[in-house]
């Protein structure tokens, strides 16, 4: 018999707040890219990355705190930093529309997946899936569906959107470790999706 997910009060509310910030950041970066020159945005993102990693260094020294971090992020670089790195690399590597689609898949798709994951994680089958390093099928389906819709709305190409959604879903759904180091999906989601979309387009 499955248990309901609430392991501590407010965990779903915290996840919703995190994902609201996640979505807002993706929208701001994408809109700025749509209305401004690429070189100016790259300079702005470089400055933002410098500031973020400066505050991360202060956080590790206990001099500042960052709200709404997950427990696993408190002793390592937070997902917000990888989000900015992923968006920055996407803008450097991919065509404009593909970069914007990749960032939206990261912002909106990952947000939907994260909320579904929070609800699912406390059930017995959910915990078993996470121990295997793969998210449960219904969470994967949420990510795939949302990314497919986002990609199609931005690119107006079902084929390209499908490839991007598949890339984003693999990055989100399968836990990647290289030499024992866990790779944050905020970095891999836009890169996987953008790479596959670039190939087919």
- pLDDT level of residue 74 (50, 70, 90 thresholds): confident
Across 116-120, 149-153, 157-161, 180-184, least confident range: 180-184
Sign of torsion over alpha carbons 161, 163, 168, 174: positive
User: Domain limits of the chain?
Assistant: 11-200
Distance CA 68, CA 157 (A): 36
Segment of 49-53, 59-63, 126-130, 134-138 carrying the highest mean pLDDT: 49-53
Q: Does residue 115 have a pLDDT over 70? A: yes
pLDDT value at residue 121:
67
- pLDDT at position 9 over 60: no
CB proximity list for 61: less than 8 A, separation 6 or greater: none
Q: Mean pLDDT across the chain, nearest whole number?
A: 86
In this structure, the strands spanning 181-182 and 177-178 are: antiparallel
Q: Is the pTM of this model over 0.75?
A: yes
Position with higher pLDDT, 124 vs 193: 193
Residue that wins the pLDDT comparison between 15 and 156: 156
| pLDDT: which is higher, 105 or 134 | 105
């Amino acid at each position: 018999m499955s248990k309901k997910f609430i392991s501590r009060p407010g965990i779903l509310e915290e996840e919703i707040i995190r994902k609201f910030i996640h979505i807002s950041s993706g929208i701001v970066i994408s809109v700025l890219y749509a209305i401004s020159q690429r070189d100016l945005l790259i300079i702005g993102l470089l400055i933002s990355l410098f500031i973020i990693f400066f505050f991360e260094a202060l956080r590790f020294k206990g001099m500042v705190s960052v709200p709404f971090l997950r427990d696993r992020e408190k002793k390592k670089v937070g997902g917000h930093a990888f989000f900015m790195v992923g968006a920055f690399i996407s803008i450097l590597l991919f065509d404009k529309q593909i970069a914007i689609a990749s960032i939206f898949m990261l912002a909106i798709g990952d947000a939907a997946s994260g909320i579904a994951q929070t609800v699912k994680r406390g059930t017995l089958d959910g915990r078993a899936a996470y121990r295997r390093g793969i998210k449960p099928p219904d969470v994967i389906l949420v990510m795939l569906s949302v990314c497919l819709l986002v990609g199609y709305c931005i690119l107006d190409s079902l084929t390209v959107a499908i490839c991007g959604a598949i890339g984003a879903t693999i990055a989100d759904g399968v836990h990647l470790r290289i030499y024992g180091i866990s790779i944050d999906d905020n970095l891999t989601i836009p890169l996987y999706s953008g790479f596959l979309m670039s190939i087919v387009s």
